[in-house]
Amino acid sequence: MNDVRRDTIDEELVRNVVHLFYGRVRADPLLGPIFEGRIGPDWDAHLQRLTLFWSALAFKNGAYSGSPHGAHQGLALTAEHFQRWLHLFEETLEQTCRGEAMDFFRDRAHRIADSLQIGLGIGPKALRLP
């Protein structure tokens, strides 16, 4: 899936997915403390930044500029954290979208999880250099 049609995903859907998903993350006993420790009281700004991130992925509009890999450095994350993140994301998708939109978000979430784990040197796809 290379291009997302505007009639399948719009800014409102992106915002709804982000806000519902990160509401789940904040309440999650495994992930919540990690995010609260890093984000603290800045959740509004974080949600805005993540909405821009997902909009940039969906619409290729350059709305996001940042370093997801840098943001996740030093958090002592494990493959279990990413599995939980994906599980919560899947639950969110079940409530918010169907069809092509669901496929798009699911595909990108898995790519993001893989990329971050590779970059952080964790999980089954991590590079094991001598």
Give me the CATH number covering residue 32.
1.10.490.10
Question: Is 129 inside a domain boundary?
Answer: no
What is the domain count for the chain?
Answer: 1
Q: CA 25 → CA 53, 79, 129, 130, distances in Å?
A: 17, 16, 32, 35
**Domain that residue 31 falls in:** 11-120
Question: Is 93 inside a domain boundary?
Answer: yes
Question: Is 126 inside a domain boundary?
Answer: no
Structure token digits, residue 97: 């979208």
Encode 43-65: b = buried (16+ Cβ within 10 Å), e = exposed.
Answer: eeebbeebbbbbbbbbbeeebee
Question: Is 32 inside a domain boundary?
Answer: yes
Q: What is the pTM of this model?
A: 0.86
Q: Are 107 and 12 in contact (CB under 8 A)?
A: no
Question: Is 24 inside a domain boundary?
Answer: yes
Q: Which of 20, 6, 35 is nearest to 95 (CA)?
A: 20
Question: Is 92 inside a domain boundary?
Answer: yes
Q: Are 55 and 11 in contact (CB under 8 A)?
A: yes
Question: Is 94 inside a domain boundary?
Answer: yes
The helix/strand/coil state of 129 is: coil
Question: Is 33 inside a domain boundary?
Answer: yes
With a pLDDT cut of 90, the percent of the chain lying above it is 62
31-48 pLDDT, tens digit each: 999 999 888 889 999 999
